[in-house]
Chain A
Amino acid sequence: MSVPGTLDPPRSTAEAGPPAPPRPPVVRAKRLTWRRALRRDWQLYSLALLPLLFFAVFRYLPMIGNVIAFRKFQPGGNPLGEYWVGLRYVEMFLSDSTFWNVFTNTLVLGVLTLVVCFPLPIVLALLFNELSSRRLKRFVQSVSYLPHFLSVVIIAAMVMQLLSVDGTVNQLVRAFGGEPIPFLQQPEWFRTIYVSSEAWQTVGWGTILYLAALTTIDSDLYEAARIDGASRWRQTWHVTLPGIRPTMVTLLILNIGTFMAVGFEKILLLYNPLTYPTGDVISTYLFRMGVLSNSFSYAAAIGLFEAVIGLTLVLTANLIARRAVGTSLW
């Protein structure tokens, strides 16, 4: 899941525009050439140097590093590969049956996560909002955020303890007369385990932005709705939900963008060869191929494929959202 609450950054980009905003600061609106900008703001630019170096080296260089998907790379050799091999690695994974298996798993887990973990915070936020006692509301919220602060290693460890043969879940199974189930060894359980632990961890934190959005809804709207005879349920439907729609759309787009990168770290911690049939996803497969088996170029090709799909999904979702509901990230 994405970090909840990634605002809509680029809008400010647009409003900043190059220089010359025509209205208030008329004095300053004179054409600002680069030379003059540099002379005036060189100290500001100098502050940006180290961060820019960071982005160049640790964000953009790896993007360029993806050329090894098309070049033969040897560990210890040239970081950008030895010679061109064209689409050889792409063809390799397209004809790799494991790849198609992990591709399917990625889609299934991604869709399940989206379907379960996207609406839950909305529902929970609405429920919080209906709590009459402020104290109680604060308490429930605080508790619900808690899992967000845990390391994924801790989450995985807790999941394993709860689901172990002697764990709580199996005690319940036994209490209802069932045979204990080795959940973590059975591929048919992996998706349920992954999605529910994801929900457990993210749902409370996910409500924050919706609660913030709820406070911004104009109370006159409720009054007007009431005068029109709207029941509480109708008020929710016609006032509250439209009020938080921009937040919903923004978060949906962001979730769709991280869709392909489904919880890599958690899966890596939770899966095992027995659960590969449902648990292995693109990112874990490329981790094994690249880092563990040293097939760097092959893994890079898969990674690039995954990243391109992710980018395409965000762009498409953003476009659709802008056309359909007029809210978008940029």
Chain B
Amino acid sequence: MTVEGKPLPVVRRRRGLKVTRGYRVFQAVNAVVLTVVVIVTLYPFVNVVARSFSQEAYIRAGQVNLVPRGFNLSTYKLVMADDMFWANYRNTVFYTVVATAVAIVLTTCYAYVLSKKQLRGRSALVGIAVFTMFFSGGLIPNYILVTSLGLKNSVWAIALPNAISVFNLLVMKAFFESMPVELEEAAAVDGLDTYRILWRIVLPLSKAMIATMVLFYAVAFWNSWFSAFLYMDQSDLFPVTVYLRNLIAGATGAGSVGAADADLQTAANIQAVTIVLTVVPILLVYPFVQRYFVSGVMLGAVKG
């Protein structure tokens, strides 16, 4: 965050302009503004970590900001000793894996089909998907549908209704379209049928894209809570996001986290600990995956 001291020579070269006084002032202001942006973005994270290691009394007194006060790990032990927390954590992992797998298979199949320009009826197939971005059945019909299909209290209530994200579909379609046609034509000449071309030629070349898609979907499913909140009645089926939601809502929602915990639920550092534990996996992978996300989104954009 040592923004100010950054080299000027580079600046001089940019756009071949000599650095005017006004521009230098602007650079300084810019550095300050962006430093503020960084601080504002990171502060809530630091704060929640600080709270999670603090003693409740200091939090209540409003004395915890950047550094933990009354350092203790007892809340972590408390939360981690809660069987429900771990059950819900496992649910999150399970739901994420199943839903992502379903989503990847369906999205890949459809994106591949849509990428074939010579396919008759392709524009209709694209239209079917794209229209749903702008118009949807809405909450109530969806709720009735999932309920009448008997998907309540099963992973399918989460996986199936969200199996294809049209945005991801379009990104993937753009990727397949950018692959050289000659490869597949050569494979076809060698006698491979469409399935084998997809399986043996296209997919092995699309590992990076598929990895990106896995990330897109996995993060979305890991973070999702509303489907589970709507369609799961039993607290042992909740994902950890719903566990957290019930903590912050004082367990007033569908289902209850158990009356014995009632007085714990309002405790500020139990919340903080739960937040930290829920975010940790994302923060751990973030530095590695962020780049993929960005390039994935850009891929979709540049294609235009």
A: residues with CB less than 8 A from B are 3-14, 16-19, 25, 28, 32, 34, 37, 41, 43-45, 47-48, 50-52, 54-55, 57-66, 68, 73, 79, 124, 127-128, 130-133, 136, 139-140, 142-147, 149-154, 156-158, 160-162, 164-168, 170-171, 174, 200, 204, 208-209, 212-213, 216, 222-223, 226, 232, 235, 246-247, 257, 265, 268-269, 283, 286-287, 290-291, 296, 299-300, 303-304, 306-307, 310-311, 314
Q: A51-B109, A145-B290, A158-B44 are in contact. Are A269 and B249 (CB under 8 A)?
A: yes
- The reply to whether A314 and B134 contact each other, CB–CB distance below 8 Å, is yes
- B30 CB contacts on chain A under 8 angstroms: 127, 130-131
Q: A6-B300, A17-B123, A154-B275 are in contact. Are A48 and B135 (CB under 8 A)?
A: no
Once the chains are docked, how many angstroms separate the CA of A7 from the CA of B298? 9
- A153 CB contacts on chain B under 8 angstroms: 223, 225, 241-242, 244-245, 248, 278
B264-281 toward A: CB 8 Å interface, digit per residue (1/0)?
Answer: 000010011011001100
| Set B134, B140, B303: member contacting A68, Cβ < 8 A | B140
Once the chains are docked, how many angstroms separate the CA of A248 from the CA of B51? 40
Return the chain B residue nearest A134 by Cβ.
Answer: B10
Q: A10-B126, A151-B224, A290-B143 are in contact. Are A132 and B134 (CB under 8 A)?
A: no
- The reply to whether A303 and B139 contact each other, CB–CB distance below 8 Å, is yes
Once the chains are docked, how many angstroms separate the CA of A291 from the CA of B254? 11
Q: How far is the CB of A304 from chain B (nearest CB, A)?
A: 7
Question: Among B54-62, B72-80, B81-89, B205-213, which stretch is in contact with chain A?
Answer: B54-62
Once the chains are docked, how many angstroms separate the CA of A5 from the CA of B174? 13
- The reply to whether B118 and A19 contact each other, CB–CB distance below 8 Å, is yes
The answer to the question of B178 belonging to the interface, with a C-beta cut-off of 8 Å to chain A, is: no
The answer to the question of B214 belonging to the interface, with a C-beta cut-off of 8 Å to chain A, is: no
- The reply to whether B134 and A162 contact each other, CB–CB distance below 8 Å, is no
The answer to the question of B154 belonging to the interface, with a C-beta cut-off of 8 Å to chain A, is: no
The answer to the question of B67 belonging to the interface, with a C-beta cut-off of 8 Å to chain A, is: no
- The reply to whether B163 and A291 contact each other, CB–CB distance below 8 Å, is no
Return the chain A residue nearest B272 by Cβ.
Answer: A161
The answer to the question of B116 belonging to the interface, with a C-beta cut-off of 8 Å to chain A, is: yes
Once the chains are docked, how many angstroms separate the CA of A116 from the CA of B294? 23
- The reply to whether B226 and A48 contact each other, CB–CB distance below 8 Å, is no
- The reply to whether B109 and A140 contact each other, CB–CB distance below 8 Å, is no
Once the chains are docked, how many angstroms separate the CA of A151 from the CA of B249? 16
- A174 CB contacts on chain B under 8 angstroms: 62
- The reply to whether B163 and A160 contact each other, CB–CB distance below 8 Å, is no
Q: A6-B300, A45-B113, A149-B282 are in contact. Are A13 and B126 (CB under 8 A)?
A: yes
Say what secondary structure dominates the interface of chain A: helix
Once the chains are docked, how many angstroms separate the CA of A222 from the CA of B133? 37
| Set B61, B140, B222: member contacting A166, Cβ < 8 A | B61
Once the chains are docked, how many angstroms separate the CA of A257 from the CA of B105? 29
The answer to the question of B142 belonging to the interface, with a C-beta cut-off of 8 Å to chain A, is: yes
- A223 CB contacts on chain B under 8 angstroms: 16
B window 234-276: CB within 8 A of A: 241-242, 244-245, 247-249, 268, 271-272, 274-275
Q: A162-B47, A291-B143 are in contact. Are A142 and B120 (CB under 8 A)?
A: no
- A286 CB contacts on chain B under 8 angstroms: 138-140
Once the chains are docked, how many angstroms separate the CA of A306 from the CA of B7? 53
Q: A44-B113, A133-B6, A257-B134 are in contact. Are A58 and B118 (CB under 8 A)?
A: no
| Set A52, A144, A150, A311: member contacting B135, Cβ < 8 A | A311
- A57 CB contacts on chain B under 8 angstroms: 145
Q: A19-B118, A208-B298 are in contact. Are A6 and B244 (CB under 8 A)?
A: no
Once the chains are docked, how many angstroms separate the CA of A246 from the CA of B301? 11
Q: A140-B37, A168-B47 are in contact. Are A9 and B143 (CB under 8 A)?
A: no
Q: How far is the CB of A70 from chain B (nearest CB, A)?
A: 12
- The reply to whether B123 and A226 contact each other, CB–CB distance below 8 Å, is no
Q: A6-B300, A51-B110, A124-B37 are in contact. Are A226 and B141 (CB under 8 A)?
A: no
- The reply to whether A47 and B136 contact each other, CB–CB distance below 8 Å, is no
- B40 CB contacts on chain A under 8 angstroms: 200
Q: How far is the CB of B101 from chain A (nearest CB, A)?
A: 13
Once the chains are docked, how many angstroms separate the CA of A171 from the CA of B122? 59
- The reply to whether A132 and B301 contact each other, CB–CB distance below 8 Å, is no
Return the chain B residue nearest A208 by Cβ.
Answer: B297
Q: List 17 A-B contacts (CB under 8 A).
A: A4-B297, A5-B167, A11-B304, A51-B110, A62-B136, A63-B136, A63-B137, A79-B144, A144-B38, A151-B241, A153-B242, A160-B271, A161-B44, A164-B268, A166-B62, A299-B140, A303-B141
- The reply to whether B120 and A37 contact each other, CB–CB distance below 8 Å, is yes
Q: A161-B51, A286-B139 are in contact. Are A151 and B225 (CB under 8 A)?
A: yes
- The reply to whether A65 and B41 contact each other, CB–CB distance below 8 Å, is no
Q: A10-B126, A153-B225, A222-B15 are in contact. Are A212 and B37 (CB under 8 A)?
A: no
Q: How far is the CB of A20 from chain B (nearest CB, A)?
A: 10
- A290 CB contacts on chain B under 8 angstroms: 139-140, 143
